[in-house]
Amino acid sequence: MMRIVLRLMACGILLVLSTGLKSQNNSKTNNLVYVDKQGILRWTKTSAEASFFGVNYTTPFAYSYRAHKALGVDLEKAIHQDVYQLARLGLDAFRVHVWDTEISDTTGNLLENEHLRLFDFLLAELKKRQIKIIITPIAFWGNGYPEKDEATPGFSRKYGKGRATTNDTAILAQENYLHQFFKHINPYTRLNYVDDPDIIAVELNNEPSHSGPKDGVTNYVNRLAAAVRSVGWTKPVYYNIAQNPYYADAVSKANVDGVSFQWYPTGLVANHEVKGNFLPNVDHYRIPFDTIPEFHNKSRMVYEYDAADVLQSNLYPAMARSFRNAGFQWATQFAYDPTALAYANTEYQTHYLNLIYTPSKAISLLIASKAFHQLPRLKSFGSYPADSSFGVFRVSYKNSLSEMNSEEEFYYSNSTHSMPVNIARLRHLAGVGSSVTIHYAGSGAYFLDKISDGVWRLEVMPDAIPIRDPFEKASPEKEVTHIQWQANSMRILLPDLGSSFGIKGLNEGNSFSGSASENQFHVQPGTYLLTARGKNILRNQTNSSAIGLNEFATSKAFTIHRDEPLASTATTQTEVLAEKTKLEIFDPSTDRTARVYPSFRRGYQSSYVTGSDSTHMVLRMSANELSDDHTLGFQYYCLDKLKGRNPESFRKLVIRARTTGTQPVNAKLTLINQDGYAFSTVINLGDAFQNVEIRLDDLKADSMLLLPRPYPGIQPLWFKATGASKFEILEAEKIQVTIGTDILSSEFKKPYGLEVESIWLE
């Protein structure tokens, strides 16, 4: 009995000490931020709300490390250049799940090796650029993807993701590892991670896999949190709540300051570029944990997000808006492509983001960062399409455009016709393409920052030329974007520069010196000082302490550089059809990019099989039951088939389909236009293939499936655009067929199936 009492007393003392350390978050002078009693992240010095926006980046570890080595790239130089790009994009947040399997042994001892040294170097480079850091010290991952795992020495390889959260020996190894990891001295900053003020918080691990009783999960989280705090850590501690929604209450009860979420609103790993208007997918971030009392005092962070498999540059600011509406104060995209690997997009093929190689998406991220920092927390701007404009920001699907237009800043991810709010007061511009202030013939990004009246700093990226779909199966031998180093014409119209301003190269090796003629000049990639007549060049001036005046965001040393781009593997077909010939908009024999729902679920199958005769294929979908979302169906992007057609040619839609069951079933056929409005009608299908005709005039406003399915699954599945829209057949970009919306709950447990052979217009 005495042993039990002593053990309980020890646990109580540990809890008191842990809680006491937590309450001191805002008292320790090297803590930049703390979490208040309402769960709001605040600056320690001013108590004002804090917000951080940035990326994940992985060069010190795993595939990225190996790929740099294979290319013979200097890793320190590569990290230095990539971190400069992050600063150039105005980002102030960095997070990555550390590959503990590469820097630990099976009992959790820290290994002082090259991976850890490069991670320390990266942290020091981020610190120089004023980029704040949240460390996630445990990943649970092997280090192989997209290759096979290596025989790494760490505890994660021994125990695996599932056992790591339940096996006591594995948990002891994690506690030992956390003790040593946070006491480790970074040789570049001469600080340990506890005392480094730019490391502002910890997320204990990455996407844990939990099982068993809920109190066991709470205990596991508390053990890891106590291990970190035992070495003097008094900064915020976060833990993932969205990966295992069933355990959300167990995580909320744990002794942590905040909870972490992720968002992949366009799914993951499509193996091709996904097309269509995905602004409905990012309209709202749903958090279903409001009924948990302990959740309300937790700070909220987004550890990973991306618009995966999408090349459009209109989604990041909309995501930032939705994050702020949901109360998030930290968001980091996954993952920024290292410049040395971005030519082939080999690191994570479903993600593609780099300032040099995806300039429009990078400028969109810059605009998203501005939105995340400026938009009020918890403020709503309505629902799509009304929320396409929010404050000084706007997004456009049809123009693939993100834009910020304020008194002093004007940014655009593609060409825009918008007039600056006040061109005389502008201090910062960045863009791709042209605007009323800058006409540029190149395809790379550019930045223009005011140093003083009549003195501006110009930075110009090389041209990025798409070669092939960057989201298909990747290979280091397969270039997806070609970088072209050439001079392009540029015309700058700014009142304080005049029409014949001087131009002086600044970056290393750039000896250019000249002047504009009638506001126009030719410019190679590089950094320049533009000066109005009579203005002095002051080389020590800069507009930001994070960016040097003569720095440049790219280097020829890191690009796979060829004189000519590789030929595209894409082929183009042109069909010439008679005016009254039917137009097929979905043919399973050739159209294999349909998005099915559900895609990953026990008891569900989808396949392409022979149809009513051997010359046709059908898309077959079947489910043992419809108990979860009582929905079965697919969606297909068909806009390319409608381009250039005469709208007067079509009066009806025909679908050839059947149910695989013995009883007839109602199916819903929906057309979704480019503005995100859905129009549908119900059809009845029997067990034999039949042609069902639908008058286009009979389609009525309705909801649409959000496909690819947004992840995590706590996000909405259905969406209906606000306001009214008139249906026009040539505005349709997606066709959707579903069953289940009118099935009684008592019928959900039965099997259902659907086969579609063709859909066409007549």
3-state secondary structure 90-111: CCCEEEEECCHHHHECCCCCEC
What is the pLDDT at residue 716?
A: 95
Q: What is the pLDDT of residues 67-89, one digit of tens each?
A: 999 999 999 999 999 999 999 99
User: Is the residue at 750 inside a domain?
Assistant: yes
Last residue in a domain, options 374, 396, 417: 374
Bond prior to 476 in cis (omega within 30° of 0): no
- Mean of per-residue pLDDT scores for the chain: 92
What is the pLDDT at residue 561?
A: 46
Identify residue 206 by its one-letter amino acid code. Answer: N
Task: Check pLDDT > 90 for residue 539.
Answer: no
8 Å CB contact between 351 and 335: yes
Task: Check pLDDT > 90 for residue 662.
Answer: no
Question: Looking at residue 537, what DSSP letter applies?
Answer: P
Question: Looking at residue 228, what DSSP letter applies?
Answer: H
Question: Looking at residue 331, what DSSP letter applies?
Answer: E
Do residues 525 and 604 share a domain?
Answer: no
pTM: 0.94
User: Is the residue at 599 inside a domain?
Assistant: yes
What is the pLDDT at residue 534?
A: 87
User: Is the residue at 532 inside a domain?
Assistant: yes
Task: Check pLDDT > 90 for residue 398.
Answer: yes
CA-nearest of 85, 60, 689 to 359 is 85
What is the pLDDT at residue 578?
A: 52
Q: What is the pLDDT of residues 586-636, one digit of tens each?
A: 999 999 999 999 987 788 999 999 887 888 899 999 999 987 788 999 999
Do residues 434 and 298 share a domain?
Answer: no
Domain range for residue 503? 406-558
Q: What is the pLDDT of residues 204-251, one digit of tens each?
A: 999 999 999 999 999 999 999 999 999 999 999 999 999 999 999 999
> Alpha-carbon distance 266 to 281, whole Å?
7
Structure tokens at 52: 């951080």
What is the pLDDT at residue 575?
A: 53
Burial class (CB in 10 A: 0-12, 13-18, 19+), 116: buried
Do residues 299 and 201 share a domain?
Answer: yes
Task: Report the half-sphere exposure of 208 (CA within 13 A, side-chain side).
Answer: 30
Buried b (16+ CB within 10 A) or exposed e, 311-331: bbbbbbbbbbbbbbbbebbbb
Pairing relationship of beta strands 617-623 and 632-637 according to DSSP bridges: unpaired
What is the pLDDT at residue 611?
A: 81
What is the pLDDT at residue 387?
A: 96
Pairing relationship of beta strands 438-440 and 299-305 according to DSSP bridges: unpaired
In this prediction, what percent of the chain has a pLDDT beyond 70? Answer: 92
Do residues 538 and 667 share a domain?
Answer: no
**61 or 14, greater pLDDT:** 61
Backbone CA torsion sign across 460, 462, 467, 469: negative
**Rg of the Cα atoms in the chain:** 28
User: Is the residue at 734 inside a domain?
Assistant: yes
Q: What is the CATH number of the domain that holds 642?
A: 2.60.120.430
What is the pLDDT at residue 344?
A: 97
Q: What is the pLDDT of residues 292-346, one digit of tens each?
A: 999 999 999 999 999 999 999 999 999 999 999 999 999 999 999 999 999 999 9
- Measured in whole angstroms, the distance separating CA 31 from the mean position of its chain's CA atoms is 28
> Alpha-carbon distance 268 to 262, whole Å?
12
* Banded model confidence at residue 661, pLDDT cuts 50, 70, 90: confident
Phi, psi of 412 (to 5 degrees): -150, 140
Last residue in a domain, options 374, 391, 425: 374
> Alpha-carbon distance 205 to 174, whole Å?
10
Residue 630 CB neighbours (<10 A)? 18
Do residues 588 and 725 share a domain?
Answer: yes
Do residues 367 and 442 share a domain?
Answer: no
User: Is the residue at 389 inside a domain?
Assistant: no
Do residues 419 and 341 share a domain?
Answer: no
CA-nearest of 145, 148, 173 to 63 is 145
Do residues 539 and 589 share a domain?
Answer: no
* Banded model confidence at residue 686, pLDDT cuts 50, 70, 90: very high
Identify the residue whose tokens are 């015309």: 491
User: Is the residue at 337 inside a domain?
Assistant: yes
Q: What is the pLDDT of residues 706-749, one digit of tens each?
A: 999 999 999 999 999 999 888 999 899 999 999 998 888 888 88
Query: Could you give the angle at the alpha carbon of 189 between the alpha carbons of 183 and 192, nearest 5°?
Result: 10
> Alpha-carbon distance 702 to 520, whole Å?
51
What is the pLDDT at residue 616?
A: 87
Return the minimum-mean-pLDDT range out of 24-28, 260-264, 303-307: 24-28
* Banded model confidence at residue 563, pLDDT cuts 50, 70, 90: very low
Q: What is the pLDDT of residues 401-452, one digit of tens each?
A: 999 999 999 999 999 999 999 999 999 999 999 999 999 999 999 999 999 9
> Alpha-carbon distance 226 to 116, whole Å?
23
Measured CA distances, 350 to 89, 198, 273 (Å):
22, 30, 9
What is the pLDDT at residue 1?
A: 38
Do residues 120 and 167 share a domain?
Answer: yes
As a whole number, mean pLDDT of residues 466-493 equals 97
Burial class (CB in 10 A: 0-12, 13-18, 19+), 287: middle
Return the minimum-mean-pLDDT range out of 20-24, 630-634, 702-706: 20-24
> Alpha-carbon distance 609 to 619, whole Å?
7
Do residues 596 and 708 share a domain?
Answer: yes
Q: What is the CATH number of the domain that holds 243?
A: 3.20.20.80
Measured CA distances, 255 to 36, 173, 228, 236, 376 (Å):
14, 20, 12, 11, 28
User: Is the residue at 421 inside a domain?
Assistant: yes
Task: Check pLDDT > 90 for residue 513.
Answer: yes
* Banded model confidence at residue 643, pLDDT cuts 50, 70, 90: confident
User: Is the residue at 712 inside a domain?
Assistant: yes
Do residues 83 and 164 share a domain?
Answer: yes
The total number of structural domains that make up the chain: 3
8 Å CB contact between 357 and 481: yes
> Alpha-carbon distance 513 to 321, whole Å?
43
* Banded model confidence at residue 573, pLDDT cuts 50, 70, 90: low
Task: Check pLDDT > 80 for residue 458.
Answer: yes
Task: Check pLDDT > 50 for residue 546.
Answer: yes
Do residues 285 and 355 share a domain?
Answer: yes
What is the pLDDT at residue 332?
A: 98
